[in-house]
């Protein structure tokens, strides 16, 4: 067991994090970065383990970023448990946890936003969903973290496929030198995509939430038989049959995020968002032309046990 298995070093300020980065530079080591909002689960830990496998030093940020939340109640009810997070992070090979205060990240007078256009206008960026301001909040914090931590590799989850695509776009457009690595969605044994928000689900709602992945699988199966439209209709029926109010259920080109009617040559993202028992959940799968769920790191499906 290495030193980091006991406890990661916890850094609370931007100045402290900059000093840590200088140390890594002086040591000539590579740095892997895993941004999170904490309340860690296997999804986060799979990213940390991969970072630890591929990089000399691993930095994880734990910061519930207020500017990406639309509603104050969603922000206030976001689950937190830093003590447990630090233990889990250490076991997953994290060396440094950057857990700053909101005031340190956004001091009085902070007035900048980083915005990616185009692919942020749909799905979670639609005005009827979280809206583009959500992604502006994400890209603003991620740009700040990239500047501070200057990671060689940074690790994101396919569970938030649109977020990963937006971050990739930003990295390309703004010449960040980090390489973005996207890791497969980690699921509970019954298929529910792991999420910190799952902790807020009442047992009956947790059961109903299984319909999200079931609907995605049904869409995959019907689309494989050649009818994506019928698949989407079937998925919609399945969710509505469970009394789930759908925020969106759409098939889009995985690269351009344009809507698609059929499976073609290019990968198609099938994404769903719904509020269940007052908890907003998202999930997605990526289909290739032959309808097979992609098994590579851009959108593969993995059960919790396999990710260890």
Give 222 or 307: the residue with its C-beta nearer to ligand AMP. 307
Contact by Cβ (8 Å): 180, 152: no
Q: CA angle, corner 219, sides to 215 and 223, nearest 5?
A: 175
Give 83 or 109: the residue with its C-beta nearer to ligand AMP. 83
Decide: is 185 part of the binding site for ligand AMP (CB under 6 A): yes
Q: Tell the smallest beta-carbon distance from residue 124 to ligand AMP (Å).
A: 12
Q: Which of 21, 44, 134, 208 is catalytic?
A: 44
CA-wise closest residue to 286 among 305, 273, 302, 301: 301
Which tokens belong to 73? 């109640």
Burial of 184 (0-12, 13-18, 19+ CB in 10 A): buried
H/E element, 306: none
Pairing of strands 268-276, 279-287: antiparallel
Decide: is 194 part of the binding site for ligand AMP (CB under 6 A): yes
* 182 vs 156: CA distance, rounded Å: 5
Which tokens belong to 122? 């749909």
Decide: is 159 part of the binding site for ligand AMP (CB under 6 A): yes
List of residues 6+ apart from 302 with CB closer than 8 A: 46, 184, 185, 186, 187
Give 263 or 294: the residue with its C-beta nearer to ligand AMP. 294
Q: Confirm whether 134 is a catalytic residue.
A: no
Q: 32 in helix, strand or coil?
A: strand
Q: Find the binding residues for ligand AMP in span 22-81 (CB under 6 A).
A: 36-37, 43-44, 46-47
Q: Among residues 52, 61, 178, 195, which is the contact residue for ligand AMP, using CB under 6 A? A: 195
* 189 vs 179: CA distance, rounded Å: 31
Q: Tell me how many residues contact ligand AMP (CB under 6 A).
A: 17
Stretch in the footprint of ligand AMP (CB under 6 A) among 8-16, 112-120, 185-193, 269-277 = 185-193
Contact by Cβ (8 Å): 59, 148: no
Q: Tell the smallest beta-carbon distance from residue 183 to ligand AMP (Å).
A: 6
Give 36 or 52: the residue with its C-beta nearer to ligand AMP. 36
Distances (CA, A) of 33 to 114, 123, 175: 20, 26, 17
Q: Among residues 132, 154, 178, 196, which is the contact residue for ligand AMP, using CB under 6 A? A: 196
Give 87 or 227: the residue with its C-beta nearer to ligand AMP. 87
Stretch in the footprint of ligand AMP (CB under 6 A) among 157-165, 225-233, 265-273, 288-296 = 157-165
Q: Tell the smallest beta-carbon distance from residue 43 to ligand AMP (Å).
A: 2
**Which residues participate in catalysis according to the annotation?**
44
Point out which residues bind ligand AMP (CB under 6 A). 36-37, 43-44, 46-47, 156-157, 159-160, 183, 185-186, 193-196
């Amino acid at each position: 067991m290495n030193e980091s298995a006991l406890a990661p070093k916890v850094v609370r300020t931007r100045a402290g994090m900059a000093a840590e980065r200088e140390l890594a530079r002086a040591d000539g080591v590579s740095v892997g970065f895993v941004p999170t909002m904490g309340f860690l689960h296997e999804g986060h830990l799979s990213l940390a383990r991969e970072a630890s496998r591929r990089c000399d030093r691993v930095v994880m940020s734990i910061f519930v970023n207020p500017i990406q939340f639309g509603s104050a109640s969603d922000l206030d009810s976001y689950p937190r448990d830093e003590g447990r997070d630090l233990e889990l992070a250490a076991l997953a090979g994290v060396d440094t946890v950057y857990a700053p205060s909101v005031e340190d990240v956004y001091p009085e007078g902070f007035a900048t936003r980083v915005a990616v256009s185009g692919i942020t206008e749909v799905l979670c960026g639609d005005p009827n969903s979280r809206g583009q301001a959500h992604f502006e909040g994400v890209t603003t914090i991620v740009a700040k973290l990239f500047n501070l931590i200057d990671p060689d590799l940074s690790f994101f989850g396919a569970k938030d496929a649109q977020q990963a695509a937006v971050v990739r776009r930003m990295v390309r457009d703004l010449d960040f030198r980090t390489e973005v690595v996207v890791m497969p969605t980690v699921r509970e044994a019954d298929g529910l995509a792991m999420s910190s928000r799952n902790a807020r689900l009442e047992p009956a709602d947790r059961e109903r939430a299984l319909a999200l992945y079931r609907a995605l699988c049904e869409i995959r199966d019907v689309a494989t038989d050649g009818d994506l439209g019928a698949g989407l209709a079937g998925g919609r029926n399945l969710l509505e049959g469970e009394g789930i109010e759908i925020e969106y259920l759409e098939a889009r080109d995985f690269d351009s995020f344009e809507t698609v009617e059929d499976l073609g040559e290019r990968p198609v993202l099938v994404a769903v968002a719904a509020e269940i028992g007052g908890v907003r959940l998202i999930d997605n799968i990526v289909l290739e032309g032959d309808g097979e769920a992609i098994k590579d790191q851009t959108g593969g499906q993995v059960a919790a046990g396999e990710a260890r």
